[in-house]
Amino acid sequence: MSECQRLRRDVELALAGPDPVRVLPLLHRLAARAEEGSDESVFAHRQLAEILLERDPWRAALHARRVTSLRPEDDRAWAALALSQSLLGNHRYAARALACAVERAPDNPWYAHNLGHTLDVALGRPREAVRHLRRAYHRSGRNAEVATSLAHALARAGRTRAARALLARVLRTHPAPERRALMKWIEAGADGCAPVVSGVQLLATRETEAPPQSTRARGHRRWLQSSLRRGLSRLPLDEAQRLAATNLAREAAQRRPPSDERGADAIAAAAAWTIISRAGIPLSQAEVAACFRTSASTLRQRLGSVKRPLNVKRS
């Protein structure tokens, strides 16, 4: 085994552990020593792009650009480049990068969702957005978050009847304050400024919930249950995988209870990532973390408290 192969193995072990601080020096060392264009070099720069997104999107973009120049077919690098540009406010650039990701992975509904959401919300082009969001809606198994984004774009494109019918179906099974606000706006004729819906990855914001009034133990369970319900509905998991993630999160919370709602989000995200990585689903830690309104670094800090399952089927 070469030095670069050993470094890559060490990085993969560190990424699976609770100490994100250890990962960056290893990745920088691997990127510096690996031959330009090799699998190890591409791996290092892609991981650096995904890990640096939330703390330094400009540097993340540099690493992502390096991968796309070396491997233009790498959809994950295009997606990371898009997210970095969105965080920097360069939404046109983000849309172009997302279009490249969609072209290379047409069956990935989250790329199509983010492209449509960016076109609708950030660039004011809802008619173009509808095509991508409809594609994402069907390929995500009619995911509630994607359906909400599609309803938003339909209403802004003047198709209020279709938007209202779609959102009414979503509200029956996934009621939420932002969806009810969107329905009121649509029913009012979609006049004035639309209430912007949150995206799965690009424009996520935390939901506001009243603090629990019960005991601390009940509070832990409620926080975790709310986070799991919200986050798992946005991920391409089957029922068995959702149950496995829920059980992992509950076990982790019993061993190390969360001190607040953010802690519960981190546990839920770590449990979901454990199932997703074991099942081979092509989502990054940043993408999974955003579904739970947390960050990839916070997710990694909780991985050590999540017991890994022995076997998880691939979806």
Q: What CATH code is carried by the domain that includes residue 180?
A: 1.25.40.10
Look up the domain containing 250 and give its range.
218-303
Q: Which residues contact 214 (CB under 8 A, 6 or more apart)?
A: 222
In a domain, 82, yes or no: yes
Are both 297 and 233 inside the same structural domain? Answer: yes
Residues with Cβ < 8 Å from 19, sequence gap 6 or more? Answer: 300, 301, 304
Taking the whole predicted model, whether its pTM rises above 0.75 is answered as: no
Both 82 and 21 in one domain: the answer is: yes
Domain contains 299:
yes
Asked whether residue 125 falls in the same domain as residue 191, the answer is yes
**What is the domain-level CATH number for residue 267?**
1.10.472
Would you state the pLDDT for residue 222? Answer: 80
> Could you tell me if 113 and 62 lie in one domain?
no
Does 51 share its domain with 84? yes
What is the number of structural domains in the chain? 3
For 28, 52, 120, 241, the CA distances from 199, given in Å and listed in that order, are 31, 20, 11, 23
Same domain, 76 and 117: no
| pLDDT score recorded for residue 18 | 57
Asked whether residue 1 is domain-assigned, the answer is yes
Residues 6+ apart with CB under 8 A from 299: 266, 269, 270, 273, 285, 288, 289, 292
Mean pLDDT, each 10-residue run in order, the chain (315 residues): 78 65 78 89 90 85 95 94 90 95 93 94 94 94 91 94 95 88 85 53 33 46 84 82 88 80 88 88 82 82 71 48
Residue 52 shares a structural domain with residue 84: yes
Do 133 and 164 belong to one domain? yes
Does any domain span residue 174?
yes
Q: Are residues 115 and 66 both part of a single domain?
A: no
Look at residue 192 and tell me if it is in a domain.
yes
Asked if 119 and 95 count as a contact pair (C-beta separation under 8 A), the reply is yes
**Domain co-membership, 4 together with 55:** yes
Give yes or no: residues 19 and 82 share one domain.
yes
